[in-house]
A and B are shown apart, each in its own frame.
Chain A
């Protein structure tokens, strides 16, 4: 379990992380969602003791990262796939990590096998593609067979096959009872990967909830209705729902009544309908709506 309490990180006047509290539970994949620059990486670096919080506290099973003895056996992390020396082979990279935490060297070949890099184990990491580097980073995270795993934007730059592989992989890790904490700036990706969501913007907590709940809250259903008797229909529907008019094409947008019921009401009142279509708000749109205020850099 990862627990952050009133975590703050200020760089001069910039508040990268501002009063952030959350809990990441074991046995589930928890998504850490926010636009670029929201403070996701900074938070993860504070979890791992690389950056010191300006204020507040973050612990892993009640301990600070720096207090862990042989930390790689407890926490595995992939923050940046490029944290390797380009002239060092994949095996040597994992070997020094293994030795540092007294992990048996046969585990190095095991994890290389798991991530599918066994054949290039003796090749220099500098020659790896981004996808291969990500796999090497994941191998490093798995090295100590840790209970807690952190991944920062692990699918960035991966091909669809790689994305699917990572997604299934994270589910397997969570099913084994591990704590999996994974960040992304893409809600659509998180919707398919994470069971729980921690959503932040400009360093502040926006929501902590299950993915299911977050999506249903964020994307309200509505029905589009077009009728030659729009005015009359609108009056009748307004009694039991919120009705607005689409300024572009004059269609009615009905919130709060399902499509079949609208059709029945129209039939009772002998109103002709030209269109009756249930709409679902797009996930990305909802997310953008939610984090609009907290996006740091806008394109104009």
Chain B
């Protein structure tokens, strides 16, 4: 508990988390506002409300999470941290828990904020959350952010540089996994096992227009919750590797 308090103090005594939170909110909810504003009243769907949260704002949250570690390396405060808490694994796990929790809460705020705004802007549309799939689609965004944060922190610990970690995360999430689908025949088969594709699969709404949804056309082998577990498994595996490396490496 002590270490969680330490990481909370550290995170909130600098400015970058505030900026990233504001930016994620603005982008996530903002995109929904634009979509709602340009869609005819009555035509909005729950799927359309979460485009901003599950795609655009997620990228900002990944960056925020990676920054929480890479700035520590950048300014050598990681050394001060390891002096105060020589057990590096517990120090870094505490940081991961705090950042992932904040990311998850932020995800719920953005998801329900987007949904609420769409409801106000497009009152004639059917945006009631009735089914389990619809709940998963909206409330699941927080889970996605939390797991994404773990993954981003792992990358941050391994790479130690802000520029490198951010580049890896953004290219991986926004470009690489999508581009692999271009490879003839095997592309979509590989995609079925890529972490962010599985994250999208978890959120996917059944029966919706497939072209509307990211990850359309991929033949996933896992159930939707299975995909989430798979995404989480990869994030945790990467974190374990990062923790082992951090423990062995000279600080």
Contact = CB atoms under 8 A, between A and B. Distances in A.
A82 B86 CA distance: 20
A85 B75 contact: yes
A5 B79 CA distance: 24
A92 B9 contact: yes
Contacts of A95: 9, 13
Interface residues of A, number: 32
B16 to A, nearest CB: 8
Interface in B67-101: 71, 75-77, 79-87
A82 B75 CA distance: 7
B77 A83 contact: yes
B250 A87 contact: no
Nearest to A88: B13
Contact of A87 (B15, B81, B84, B87): B15
A50 B14 contact: no
Q: Which label, helix, strand, loop or mixed, suits the secondary structure of the B interface?
A: helix
A80 B76 contact: yes
Interface in A27-63: 45, 48-52
B3 interface: yes
Contacts of B16: 87
B38 interface: no
A140 interface: yes
A99 B5 contact: yes
B25 to A, nearest CB: 21
A96 interface: yes
Nearest to B10: A96
Interface residues of B, number: 26
Nearest to A65: B86
A71 B79 CA distance: 14
A101 interface: yes
A102 B2 CA distance: 8
B84 A66 contact: no
Nearest to B76: A83
B6 A79 contact: no
Most A CB within 10 A of own CB, among B9, B87, B248: B9
B67 to A, nearest CB: 11
A92 B86 contact: no
B251 A50 contact: yes
Contacts of B75: 82-86
A100 B86 contact: no
Given A65-B86, A66-B87, A97 B80 contact: yes
Interface of A: 45, 48-52, 65-66, 68, 71-72, 77, 79-80, 82-89, 92-93, 95-97, 99-102, 140
Interface of B: 2-3, 5-6, 9-10, 13-16, 71, 75-77, 79-87, 248, 250-251
